[in-house]
Structure 1
Amino acid sequence: MNEIIYEGPFKDHIRNHVELKRAVGYKYDTDASHLKRFDRFTLEKYPDATALTKEIVLDWCSKKTYEAQANQCSRASIIRQFGKYLDSIGVKAYILPKGYYPTEDPYMPYIYTADELTRFFAETDKCRYCCECPYRHLIMPVFFRMIYMCGLRVSEARLLKVADVDLENGILTIHHSKKDNSRLVPMSVSLTERCRHYSQMVHPYSKAEEYYFPALNGKPMTIQNVYKNFRRFLWRAGISHGGRGKGPRIHDFRHTYAVHSLKKWSEQEKDLTVYLPVLKTYMGHDSFEETAYYLRLTADVFPDITLKLETRYPGMIPELEGALNETD
């Protein structure tokens, strides 16, 4: 990502704050972009500000008519963290109280059924050639299967390079994902074979640094483009969508992968205390709590194995309080 130039009254502090966040392991690209908008806002309305006052903070956090409640809460959280940073270095700052703005009900992950997955992937296979995106009909069947079968985040699949897909050993290399972590992700035999066929069609002479799922001009597919195709396949597969913020979402393929894995292991009488760390590493979770969350979700989605999970892992299953805070 290109370096952002800050120009407002807090420009030096914002830059130092972003550098500190990245130094301790956060990717912080999205938040840095939000802070750039805050930087422009203060440059226009409070160019002579020397302190982060309550007036500035509340003015910036005031809800826009077009935005969802979650967006306002996100902006408030970012500016709250910035206020805490300023306070820590001795700069006068108003720190917005945590939970100052009411949050919406947390989103509950949508777990696709086996039949829904079959119907969805069948629709991706019917994707037709489009001159505006000449590889779309080849990309979509592989792209969405890879997200589900490897439990990937959308950005992890979208930003793969040709060199990241080892077709000989069937392994993906994920670089600089959440909190700048990297990992190796083995693929199934069937997915590896799909990727080999796909690469023969799309990347017969591609360079290692080119994007594996290219859009126009060799750039990666945009999130908007991926989502537009996702909604079309969802509709054609007869899977209902609840509207904005209701799901199902693309990210729910990742949730579904985790839940289906735990269900299969539970039915096979596998020791989940051994398999959970494997799932944690495979999915690139930063903490064990993120992975253990899926024990509760699995029990709720598949009531027939609830007793088994509750009996064997009573202290490991957290209360289910909405979706994990996982972003692209």
Structure 2
Amino acid sequence: MSNEYPVLFRLIYLNGLRASEARLLSMDDVDPYAGTIVILDGKGNRDRIVYLSDDLTKLCREYISYLTAELGRKPSWVFPGIDPDKPVSYGSISSMFRRCWMNTSFASGCDRNPTTHCLRHAYVVKRINLWREQGLDFEHMLPYLSRFLGHKSFHDTYYYYHYVEEAAQTIRKRDTVTGRVIPEVMRR
């Protein structure tokens, strides 16, 4: 089966999950009606509840119905492997992600091959940029993001936030100090 990969990649990106957390989700960990997933024994043995958006909740319901019909029974794993009694392997996820990436228009212009973990990085950068655009204080929001990602400390979360052009543009839009302190540095 290969229909699980779009759901898997979307779940990782939209919720900042680790690929290992997503691949090891059992059917008991997902409530497709309440829109929650429980991450048990995440990295560092930290458990957490992740809330899904309405559209992702609906997608999960449809996917689980499809999967149950395809297998003729309710599977143990949300993302079963070739043997449906075992979870999909990390190697299979990586291989499919590479294949999907190579089919995008971005692949030819990229000097590095991204991995599924890059989806987690992208989630963090997008979330922080969104907060900055909304005028929210990043330092205030960091504990929430850190907990949501299952991190032990804020430093683990901040590691993900790379200084990217998108972030620089957001910072420049919100910057009210630089122009007053050093006027010649201000961009127009």
TM over 0.5: yes
Which residue of 102, 112, 127 corresponds with 1:235?
Answer: 102
1:189 aligned to 2:57?
A: no
1:225 aligns with 2:88: no
Maintained 8 Å contact 1:171/1:184: yes
| Aligned match of 1:259 | 125
- Aligned residue pairs total 171
Report the Cα offset of residue 203 of structure 1.
Answer: 2.5
Output one character per residue of 1:21-43: Cα deviation in whole Å (capped at 9) or x when no partner. Answer: xxxxxxxxxxxxxxxxxxxxxxx
CA distance in 2, matches of 1:187, 1:310: 35
| Local SS of the residue matching 2:74 | coil
Specify the SS of the correspondent of 1:215: coil
Cα shift readout 1:90-112 (whole Å, capped 9, x = no counterpart): xxxxxxxxxxxxxxxxxxxxxxx
In structure 1, distance between residues paired with 2:127 and 2:100: 24
Selected match of 1:157 from 17, 22, 28: 22
Structure 1 length-normalised TM:
0.49
Report if aligned partners of 1:277, 1:288 keep a CA contact under 8 Å in 2.
yes
Note the alpha carbon deviations across 1:270-293, whole angstroms, 9 max, x for none. 222332111111111111112233
Task: Report the Cα offset of residue 306 of structure 1.
Answer: 3.0
Partner of 1:279: 145
Alpha carbons 1:161, 1:211 under 8 Å: kept: yes
Cα displacement string for residues 243-278 of structure 1 (whole angstroms, at most 9, x for unaligned residues) = 7xx331210000000000111111011222332111
The answer for the alignment partner of 1:16 in structure 2 is: none
Aligned residue number for residue 144 of structure 1: 9
User: Any stretches of 5+ residues in structure 1 without a counterpart?
Assistant: 1-134, 312-328
1:214 partner SS: coil
Tell me, what secondary structure is at the counterpart of 2:142? helix
User: Residue 74 of structure 2 aligns to which amino acid in structure 1?
Assistant: S
Deviation per CA, 1:78-128, whole angstroms, max 9, x where unpaired?
Answer: xxxxxxxxxxxxxxxxxxxxxxxxxxxxxxxxxxxxxxxxxxxxxxxxxxx
The offset of 1:300, in angstroms, is 5.1
Q: Secondary structure at the match of 1:172?
A: strand
Alignment match, 1:216: 82
Cα deviations across residues 267-325 of structure 1 (Å, max 9, x unaligned)? 01122233211111111111111223345x255543212344796xxxxxxxxxxxxxx
8 Å Cα contact 2:4-2:79 kept in structure 1: yes
User: Which of the numbers 125, 132, 136 marks the counterpart of 1:270?
Assistant: 136
Give TM-score scaled by structure 2 length. 0.82
Name the CA distance, whole Å, in 2 between partners of 1:292 and 1:216. Answer: 37
Larger Rg: 1 or 2?
Answer: 1
Q: Can you list the C-alpha shifts for 1:190-249, whole angstroms capped at 9, x where unaligned?
A: 111100000111135416xx1110112221111111111111111111222767xx3312
Identity %: 33
The answer to whether the 8 A contact 1:165-1:173 is kept is yes
- Structure 1 Cα separation of the partners of residues 164 and 141 of structure 2: 16
| SS of alignment partner, residue 238 of structure 1 | coil
**Paired residue secondary structure (1:203):** helix
Q: Contact 1:146 / 1:152 at 8 angstroms: preserved in 2?
A: yes
CA RMSD after TM alignment: 2.1
Find out whether 1:302 has 2:142 as its counterpart: no
Counterpart of 1:194 in structure 2: which amino acid? L
Q: Which amino acid letter does the alignment assign opposite residue 269 of structure 1?
A: G
Residue 309 and residue 234 in structure 1: after superposition, are their counterparts in 2 closer, same or farther (change >3 A)?
farther
Q: Which has the higher contact order (CA 8 A, sep 6+)?
A: 2
8 Å Cα contact 1:300-1:306 kept in structure 2: no
